[in-house]
Amino acid sequence: MTDQDKLRQVRDRIDALDTDILRLVNERGRLAQDVARIKREAGEQADFYRPEREQQVLRRLQGLNQGPLSDETVTRLFREIMSACLALQQPLRIGFLGPEGTFTQAAAIKQFGHEVQLQPLASIDTVFKEVESGDMHYGVVPVENSTEGVVNHTLDCFLNSPLQIVGEVELRIQHHLVSREPSAKTIKRVYSHPQGLAQCRTWLDVNLPTAERVTVSSTAEAARLAASETSAAAIASEAAAEMYDLHLLVEGIEDNSGNTTRFLVIGRQSPPPTGDDKTSLVVSRIDQPGGLVRLLQPLSDHGINMTRLDARPSKQGVWEYAFFIDLLGHADDDRVRGALDAMREQASLFRVLGSYPRVAR
Ligand SMILES: O=C(O)C(=O)C[C@]1(C(=O)O)C=C[C@@H](O)C=C1
């Protein structure tokens, strides 16, 4: 058998498999439509999007996967299949911190796939408002970065919003120096979001110490500005560089190689337990000696693992603070519910921001 014969034989097998895959994904789409019919007949009010079910689908397949495709690739493939199936049930509108080309857009695509209607919005506050009004079914906002810590504006928006956290997304953030200039030698001004400038501070101090650093609303906006000026650069993503036709002058300039940003999916109703969940709270303690210790003691008493604690001015009075807490477990789990009930008694402000599936890495 010649090499050409061997090649043709393998390609014939690929064609046969593709025929099966096409038939099976369309059969899956019809089943998703059946699910939507069942949900409508059951009078379910919530959106058809079920993050807890999507997590279950992905975790099962990651467990079955024996390669050669990586778990990450399998997750991306089936996320897109579920995105297409969900679009057959209901066109979802997802607001995200824009403009086009931000890392938040990449996080929204990672969570919902490409078959949803993605809407770039001007600010984190606008994302909350558009979801509250119902114009958007869900929103995606940045909440913390592994180098720079929390995004304060996102935490502050929760203080005055009835919305719940529906999910979380983690994105490895690679910052690039992008410009219409052919070389970094001529750069006199660097645009980026405050987090972008902060996450690349050392690189800038060493390589562009005299360049002016200008903070703008997003890394994508920084790329747009850099595209309109000479001797200017932006710290932005590869997607933003492509969008504004900029050169990648230097790739991967973030100071910490594991630089990761965590995003939250916000909506009206938190999903039910999956067995591997997180719960976020905002609480403030009664202002007396040992108040904070007593507030947190129930977590220890019930064996609950707290993964994050951030303090933010509660805006209820000078030096009054609210505490944002993440913990492992779902608010409907017996141990978590017991701890929350005990905390509620010790708190002057107590609100569960949501229980949601832990991110599928
Ligand atoms: O199982 C469901 O509830 C479905 O709607 C099906 C499906 C899927 O494609 O697997 C689609 C959308 C949901 O977000 C979750 C899962």
Mark whether 162 and 194 lie in a shared domain: no
The answer to whether residues 21 and 64 belong to one domain is yes
Q: What is the pLDDT of residue 290?
A: 82
Q: Is 116 in the pocket of ligand 1 (CB under 6 A)?
A: no
> pLDDT value at position 288?
78
Evaluate the omega torsion of the peptide bond into residue 68 and state whether it is cis, within 30 degrees of 0: yes
Give me the interface pTM, i.e. the ipTM. Answer: 0.97
- Which numbered atom of ligand 1 lies nearest the CA of 89? 5
Ligand 1 pocket residue status of 82, Cβ below 6 Å: yes
What is the reported pLDDT for 361? 53
Say how many Å lie between the CA of residue 83 and the centre of ligand 1.
Answer: 9
Query: Domain total for the chain?
Result: 4
Q: Specify the DSSP class assigned to residue 161.
A: -
Mutate to test the pocket of ligand 1, among 26, 59, 82 (most ligand atoms within 8 A of CB): 82
pLDDT < 50 regions, the chain = none
pLDDT tens, 243-264? Answer: 999 999 999 999 998 889 999 9
Cβ pair 223, 229 in contact under 8 A: no
Q: What are phi and psi of 318, to 5 degrees?
A: -60, 130
Binding site membership of 128 for ligand 1 (Cβ less than 6 Å) = no
93 CB near ligand 1 (under 6 Å):
no
Residue range 12-51, pLDDT digits in tens: 999 999 999 999 999 999 999 999 999 999 887 667 999 9
Nearest C-alpha neighbor of 120 from the set 240, 233, 229, 225: 240
Structure tokens at 338: 């017991």
- Judged on CB neighbours under 10 Å (0-12, 13-18, 19+), 228 is exposed
User: CA of 138: how far to CAs of 95, 103, 341, in Å?
Assistant: 6, 17, 29
Report CA Rg, the chain. Answer: 23
pTM score, whole prediction: 0.89
Q: Kindly state whether residues 144 and 197 are assigned to the same domain.
A: no
CATH assignment of the domain containing 50:
1.20.59.10
Q: How far is the CA of 32 from the centre of ligand 1 (A)?
A: 6
Backbone angles phi, psi at 299, to 5 degrees: -65, -45
Q: Establish if 202 belongs to a structural domain.
A: yes
Q: What is the rounded CA–CA span in Å between residue 128 and residue 206?
A: 38
What is the pLDDT, as a whole number, of residue 360?
Answer: 63
The rounded Å distance from CA 103 to ligand 1 centre is: 26
Is there a domain that residue 261 lies in?
no
**Would you tell me the crossing angle of helices 71-89 and 3-41 to the nearest 10 degrees?**
50
Q: Are residues 11 and 81 in the same domain?
A: yes
